[in-house]
Amino acid sequence: MKIEAVDFFYVSMPEVTTDADGSQDALVVRVAAGGLTGWGECEASPLVSIAAFICPMSHGACRPVAASVLGQTVEQPADIARIAATIAYNSMDLLQAPHTWSGIEMALWDLLGKARGEPVWRLLGYPRAFNKTPYASQLFGNSPAETLAGGRSARAAGFRAVKFGWGPFGTGTLEADIEQLDAAREGLGPDGILLVDAGQIFGADLEAAAKRLPALERNRATWLEEPFAAGALSAYAGLGKRTKAFKTAGGEAAHNSDMAEHLIDYGQVGFIQIDCGRIGGIGPAKRVADYAVARGVTYVNHTFTSHLALAASLQPYAGLAEHRICEYPVQPRQLAVDLTQNHLVPDKSGELAISEAPGLGITVDEAALARYRVEVEIKVNGRVLFPAGRAG
Amino acid sequence: MKIEAVDFFYVSMPEVTTDADGSQDALVVRVAAGGLTGWGECEASPLVSIAAFICPMSHGACRPVAASVLGQTVEQPADIARIAATIAYNSMDLLQAPHTWSGIEMALWDLLGKARGEPVWRLLGYPRAFNKTPYASQLFGNSPAETLAGGRSARAAGFRAVKFGWGPFGTGTLEADIEQLDAAREGLGPDGILLVDAGQIFGADLEAAAKRLPALERNRATWLEEPFAAGALSAYAGLGKRTKAFKTAGGEAAHNSDMAEHLIDYGQVGFIQIDCGRIGGIGPAKRVADYAVARGVTYVNHTFTSHLALAASLQPYAGLAEHRICEYPVQPRQLAVDLTQNHLVPDKSGELAISEAPGLGITVDEAALARYRVEVEIKVNGRVLFPAGRAG
């Protein structure tokens, strides 16, 4: 099968706010090859990711992503890895390239799975897929009362695990954070699994993060996610040494598998969280899952957008029975709900089954793509580079 | 001084080839504040970097670079660091942001230096600037004979040090690489300083790189640059342990100071090479220089474009007398020569003096900007986002 077309669909809510909520827009990718189509999603700035696909070449190591993709042959998983390696080399100076490629890579797995009549996780070598325990991923409330209510409603909706993140956490006083953590625990009850996401708020300030340790321990957090900037590896390792009660988590910013491995090796995280829409797709995420297994680190997906992205994010660790917890966006904007015709819904016991359908098992709603569509036109020296094939 | 305008000039040679030659196009940045202008240059894909400046916000942690820059106050170096921190946080999910910001950051230092009547290196805290020993940076020839000729002509032009990189190196047989290294040494004579740049050709393959060690040692290379992908830290450390004759060098891909520090701490490089047009400008590069000094690692600039970029790249280590070697692009495309009215030229003894003029000490040739200009228009939902201020 030859890759004939790669089409990008930039969709957005009518209004985008400064909430740390990645479901407000999306960049959906459709790949056509051999009479089939595959779908993927970049977790990235849509406009900038489109530009990285079609930009003029700057030199041999700064080529547009399109140059390494269009016309390539895809018959087996090794072909996807081959294209990925070409991009890593020929676009090494194009910083945005991994974000652009991530959605295309997912779509290629979806397409290959459809061609073979197999779910992607089976193409990755897993003989079976295990259910996951979804956690409700939500923002800290603006007040402890809001956080408490958020925890209660997530439990009422059947979630055993809840993650609170961003919002006011780390931006005010220590006391305010303690109140938030106490409210979170109270909201989800004594037996709930509490996960906390600091959203990099402490930069590289180990001592500022360490001040929150007693309240995190007392409220029995399972992990503290992204206390620091993605590259602050020694701060990660330092904080990890200060507590035995829980582990640090991180990795969502990794835009290649090396970065995730550094967080494991040098940052000593206990949970490695991978966004397939950023790391370069499903292939490098599976590499990180293998690496984590070998080092006793737990793999977790990072997903804050549509169920297309969610389905893709489950594939790399679908076959790992012990790596059970999974991020499940519980308050997405309507856009992220509408993007797909089918959804991954937890069962009555709160467990999430991974689809056995070919490819990613998700049907994109093309009418929703049209409804939320953002029109982009990029012209260089009078020539329209995007959308492709339109007269200048 | 309030930042009133940030203007981008995408310039390009009429023809861009797949040569690993970054001087074929450029993204020059002009910042206006308080009646002054400052100039900088991104070492990055021009179109994608422009898109990262003006893209619509995706959410609170994926905002366009412009949102953190326009209207900000700049009176002192701490203001530049403050804006950098805002971008790192508010654009953390916008992968291209550091490349876009790099040129703006340089321009802010240039502007601040002009406002104070001081060279940038003095604003960085250096009491004086020391001459550097420029090395002629060139590509390996297509044949050993071409490489030999390139070495001879660089010596004839007065360069004591020559770096050969990319081209066929690592792409063919071991024997072919040995012939190239022998030719390089022969071309630059027994007393020349030989530097070798593998251009990441070995990926993470330690053994493939290690096969070249005897020829590198016999030809007395001072460093082997980028044998591996930028993130292959354990391969870097592994290769460094295999020889005492020379050290590894790397860092040009670093898009934040953390990445450079990881190469020092975990990759054990002996030379850290920073491109101010990628790492986020002069401020983070100075932080890396301080870090290198404290750890006995030698700082080197990475520059393959204009003398505006070259001048900026010398500031972070201008005051370090012992860190003497500097990259000097010796075969740039005409574009890179024409971009500036003045140039940094080695003296008769082959030494390069760092300018004492205010700011970066370089005057951009605005007529050349017009001559090489590439027109870009980016429209989103019918509104022209670039160039700014043009009707839709």
**DSSP assignment of A238-285:** HHHHT-SS-EEEE-TT-SSHHHHHHHHHTT--SEEEE-TTTTTSHHHH
Give dist(CA B262, CA A231) in Å, integer: 9
For residue range B239-253, what is the model confidence (pLDDT) as tens digits? Answer: 999 999 999 999 999
For residue range A140-182, what is the model confidence (pLDDT) as tens digits? Answer: 999 999 999 999 999 999 999 999 998 999 999 999 999 999 9
B-chain residues near A50 (CB < 8 A): 51
How many other CB atoms sit within 10 Å of the CB of residue A342?
15
Closest-approach residue (CA) in chain B for A21: B59
Testing the interface with B: which of A28, A55, A95 to mutate, by most B Cβ within 10 A? A95
B-chain residues near A16 (CB < 8 A): 56-59
Who among A20, A50, A255 is closest to B61 (CB)?
A20
Q: Are A315 and A121 in contact (CB under 8 A)?
A: yes
Q: What pLDDT band is residue B389 in, cutting at 50, 70 and 90?
A: low
For residue range B70-115, what is the model confidence (pLDDT) as tens digits? Answer: 999 999 999 999 999 999 999 999 999 999 999 999 999 999 999 9
Q: Are B62 and A22 inside 8 Å of each other by CB?
A: yes
Give dist(CA B250, CA B162) in Å, integer: 17
Q: Which residues of B42-67 are buried (b: 16+ CB within 10 A; e: fewer)?
A: bbbbbbbbbbbbbbbbbbbbbbbbbb
How many other CB atoms sit within 10 Å of the CB of residue A72?
16
Q: Are B96 and A52 inside 8 Å of each other by CB?
A: yes
Give dist(CA B81, CA B336) in Å, integer: 29
CA distance B319 to chain A (A): 27
Here the tokens at position B200 are 């990441």
Testing the interface with B: which of A13, A49, A55, A59 to mutate, by most B Cβ within 10 A? A59
Percent of chain A with pLDDT over 70: 99
A55 touches chain B (CB under 8 A): yes
For residue B392, the model assigns a pLDDT of 38
CA distance A114 to chain B (A): 31
**Per-window interface: A 148-187 vs B, CB < 8 A:** none
For residue A389, the model assigns a pLDDT of 61
For residue range B316-365, what is the model confidence (pLDDT) as tens digits? Answer: 999 999 999 999 988 899 999 999 999 999 998 889 999 999 999 999 99
For residue B391, the model assigns a pLDDT of 43
User: In the predicted model, what is the mean pLDDT of chain A?
Assistant: 96
Give dist(CA B384, CA B208) in Å, integer: 50
Here the tokens at position B102 are 């790099």
Here the tokens at position B364 are 């951009």
Say which residue, B137 or A284, is predicted with more confidence.
A284
What are the start-end ranges of the H helices in A315-347?
A: 334-338
For residue range A46-56, what is the model confidence (pLDDT) as tens digits? Answer: 999 999 999 99
Here the tokens at position B3 are 């930042």
What are the start-end ranges of the H helices in chain B?
A: 46-54, 66-69, 77-90, 97-116, 120-123, 144-156, 174-188, 206-210, 213-218, 233-241, 257-265, 282-294, 307-314, 334-338, 366-371
Q: Which residues of B337-354 are buried (b: 16+ CB within 10 A; e: fewer)?
A: ebbbeeebebeeebebeb
Give dist(CA A61, CA B275) in Å, integer: 15
CA dihedral angle for residue B75, residue B80, residue B81, residue B86, rounded to 10 degrees: 110
User: In the predicted model, what is the mean pLDDT of chain B?
Assistant: 96
CA distance B49 to chain A (A): 8
The mean pLDDT of A88-104, rounded to a whole number, is 97
Percent of chain A with pLDDT over 90: 94
Q: How far is CA A67 from the centre of its chain?
A: 25
Q: Are B22 and A56 inside 8 Å of each other by CB?
A: no
* Pick from B188, B238, B189, B197: nearest CA to B216: B197
* Pick from A70, A73, A98: nearest CA to A84: A98
* pTM: predicted TM-score of the whole model, two decimal places: 0.96
B-chain residues near A96 (CB < 8 A): 45, 48, 52, 95-96
Here the tokens at position B185 are 């040494």
Q: Are B55 and A45 inside 8 Å of each other by CB?
A: yes
Sign, CA dihedral A138-A144-A146-A152, equals positive
For residue A391, the model assigns a pLDDT of 43
B-chain residues near A61 (CB < 8 A): 20, 199
For residue range B271-305, what is the model confidence (pLDDT) as tens digits? Answer: 999 999 999 999 999 999 999 999 999 999 999 89
Give dist(CA A318, CA A163) in Å, integer: 21
For B380, which DSSP code?
E
For residue range B200-236, what is the model confidence (pLDDT) as tens digits? Answer: 999 999 999 999 999 999 999 999 999 999 999 999 9
Q: Are A189 and A158 in contact (CB under 8 A)?
A: no
Percent of residues in chain B assigned helix, strand, coil, to nearest 5: 35, 20, 40
A392 pLDDT higher than 60: no
Q: Which amino acid is at A161?
A: A
Testing the interface with B: which of A48, A57, A287 to mutate, by most B Cβ within 10 A? A48
B130 pLDDT higher than 90: yes
